[in-house]
């Protein structure tokens, strides 16, 4: 089931999320809903707080090549164990901040540990777009948005645009 994506500024997007204690069918169903929502948007990543759920859960799929099989990942309690000294800069966007993009510099490679939908611990080294995406989504779980990496003036400009967009959407 597709869920509604919260738009910035929304106080829930700035909250630190609680760790997932037990794997439940409800959480697995939530993860499936998040993947459906992400693909429909369309996006390459989505964090639970973006749909108003303040738990440490992200989904992502950075496969973009035509004809290549999708690789949906569901991550409960993801954490970056290590990041490379080498940095990458990507133009990032966010489903909670539509049509706004900015360059963000992050570690080019990260080692990440998480719990999969079956309750098994996983670790993987991500690079390129996957590394950027997983770091962006984990930031959401800590109440941090990609615009928080920007200079204050640019961040304020984007926030004003989003406030105006939310007003327009509320009017219908």
The per-residue b/e assignment along 99-137, b for 16 or more CB within 10 angstroms, e otherwise, is ebebebebbbbbbbebbebeeeeeeeebeebbbbbbbbb
3-state secondary structure of 46: strand
**Catalytic residue at 137?**
yes
- Catalytic residue selected from 26, 109, 137, 168: 137
- Give me the active site residues, please: 137
């Amino acid at each position: 089931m597709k869920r509604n994506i919260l738009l910035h500024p929304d106080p829930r997007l700035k909250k630190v999320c609680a760790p997932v204690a037990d794997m439940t069918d409800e959480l697995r169903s939530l993860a499936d809903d998040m993947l459906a929502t992400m693909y429909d948007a369309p996006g390459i990543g989505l964090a639970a707080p973006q749909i108003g759920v303040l738990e440490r859960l992200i989904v992502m799929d950075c496969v973009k090549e035509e004809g290549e099989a999708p690789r949906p990942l569901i991550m409960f309690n993801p954490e970056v164990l290590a990041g490379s000294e080498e940095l990458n800069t990507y133009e990032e966007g966010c489903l909670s901040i539509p049509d706004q993009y900015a360059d963000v510099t992050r570690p080019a490679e990260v080692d990440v540990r998480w719990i999969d939908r079956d309750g098994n611990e996983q670790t993987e080294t991500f690079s390129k777009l996957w590394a950027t995406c997983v770091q962006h989504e984990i930031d959401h779980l800590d109440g941090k948005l990609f615009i928080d990496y920007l200079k204050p003036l640019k961040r304020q400009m984007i926030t004003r645009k989003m406030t105006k967009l939310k007003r327009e959407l509320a009017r219908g």
